[in-house]
Amino acid sequence: MPRESKAARLKRMHDEYAVLCRVFPEPKCALDFDSPFQLVVATVLSAQTTDRRVNTVTPTLFAQYPTAAALAAADPQRVEDIIRPIGFYHAKTRNIIALAAQLESRFHGQVPDTMDELVTLPGVGRKTANVVLGNAFGVPGFPVDTHVIRVTGRLRWRSDWNGDTPDPARIEREITACFPPEEWTDLSHRLILHGRATCHARRPDCETCPLNDTCPSVR
């Protein structure tokens, strides 16, 4: 199979993304939230578990602790009891209480809307910050999670597709360079949805995949 040129790869990326746009016409964040505060907490809680599971505990959590001030003053044991079903509840309780405390002390109880400020908060890395920026503030953000890493690798949208240690920050830079900023958030959503629906980690459903005709991994 001849080596694909950069121009050919870019065209294929946009053609494949157009297919994903048709398959997932209205993508949205899978976490339930009503405010930037709820979203940043829910995203921190989503580490190493599913968004669906997080959504089962956050209604109770936010009913009892509706603001950063309330969560900052929370009894850790009570918070642990609420979020216990999602796993790693000791560390996650520490993180979200510390996060709330810093929101209170540094940002007047409000979630900041810049990457530089968000990543200074406990439990918040680039992925979480991008989720909050794109979904709570409408600021272009491209969260790179395990689905995005897997799908962009199998589609060979990135130069290090066959590497053993993919770097999320590098993936973010390389993929976003190929798409306009206004597409970044929905692009991430669609890649995640495709990973969940079809391009599974262990047994991808290549036979029914809408990208079967162009995906380099099945040729």
Q: What are the pLDDT digits (tens) for 131-183?
A: 999 999 999 999 999 999 999 999 999 999 988 899 999 999 999 999 999 99
Encoding tokens for residue 152? 């962009």
- The active-site residue out of 32, 113, 145, 160 is 145
Q: Which two tokens stand for residue 209?
A: 């995949």
* pLDDT single digits (tens) 32-88: 999 999 999 999 999 999 999 999 999 999 999 999 999 999 999 999 999 999 999
145 is catalytic: yes
Answer for the pair 130, 171: CB distance below 8 angstroms, yes or no: no
- At which residue do the structure tokens 């995949």 appear? 209
Q: Quick one: DSSP state of residue 163?
A: -
**Chain centroid offset of residue 208 CA:** 25
| Per-residue confidence (pLDDT) for residue 1, from 0 to 100 | 54
Residue 218 pLDDT: 81
**Dihedral of alpha carbons 87, 97, 112, 173, sign:** negative
Give the pLDDT of residue 219.
67
Provide the whole-model pTM: 0.94
191 pLDDT tier (thresholds 50, 70, 90) = very high
Annotated catalytic residue 116: no
Spatial contact of 87 and 12, defined as CB atoms under 8 Å apart: no
